[in-house]
Amino acid sequence: MPVYRDDVVVLRTQKLGEADRIVTMLTRQHGKVRAVAKGVRRTASKFGARLEPFMVADVQLWEGRSLDVITQAESIASYGALITADYPSYTVASAMVETADKLTEAEGSLQQYLLLVGALRSLSRREHGAGLTLDSYLLRALSMAGWAPSFQDCARCGARGAHSAMVVQAGGIVCDDCAAPGSPRLDPATITLLGSLLTGDWEHTKSTPPQTRAQATGVVAAYTQWHLGRGLRSLEHVSR
């Protein structure tokens, strides 16, 4: 089938020649797609600003030999403009799309698409604060990729929690028998917050004090970097 249509969220773009761009998109049904948007860098481009990062669009593509070509793009949601106008939201959204890009290297999935679009929508509406939205997104995206952390029972031997030692390499909280000497210990409130962020239990996140959030953010950042490597550049720009 030479022409197909799909809903997409734009992850990133790169220049191609004088006026074109290669657009990397996570799609609802076709996984991750890299496609050419012709003439998109001209001021009179028919695509306007619809193919910028964080934009959600209904796109028509023509199957090319190496790269597909975008022939139409209609905006579905205006999250992108709202996010780009607010610097903290922009840095958080950048970390989200970079994470999505890395997690879908082999193949994209409908779940990853829906999670990312939902997180961008929530971010643009300022529903939960940018930092909490990012931490929740990271935990859930990594879980979908097969790296679900444990914040209750021991991640190594399965012993019933509650425990307090955090071992990122083991996949979460571990019991005292499994913890190496010197393993960092988390406050019970931090472990509760991490569990709430993982399940999307936003009610419980609201009244958490700054130091609890900061400790949780440190755990999420370490956990993310353990699985994705140090290459996640945009996470370093997020002010915490």
| Per-residue x/- track, 162-191, Zn ion (CB under 5 A) | -------------x--x-------------
Q: What are phi and psi of 146, to 5 degrees?
A: 105, 10
Q: What angle do CA 240, 12, 107 make, to 5 degrees?
A: 100
β-sheet bridge partners, residue 5:
60
Q: Beta strand pairing status for 68-77 and 3-16?
A: unpaired
Contact between 13 and 24 (Cβ < 8 Å)? yes
Number of residues engaging Zn ion in binding (CB under 5 A): 6
Least spacing, CB of residue 236 vs Zn ion, in Å: 32
Site membership for Zn ion, residue 157 (CB under 5 A):
yes
Site membership for Zn ion, residue 19 (CB under 5 A):
no
State the alpha helices, DSSP H only, in 23-86: 79-84
| Of 81-89, 100-108, 110-118, 156-164: span binding Zn ion (CB under 5 A) | 156-164
Least spacing, CB of residue 152 vs Zn ion, in Å: 12
Least spacing, CB of residue 106 vs Zn ion, in Å: 31
Site membership for Zn ion, residue 139 (CB under 5 A):
no
Least spacing, CB of residue 165 vs Zn ion, in Å: 9
Distance CA 110, CA 27 (A): 8
β-sheet bridge partners, residue 165:
174, 185
Q: Residues interacting with Zn ion, by CB under 5 A?
A: 154, 156-157, 159, 175, 178
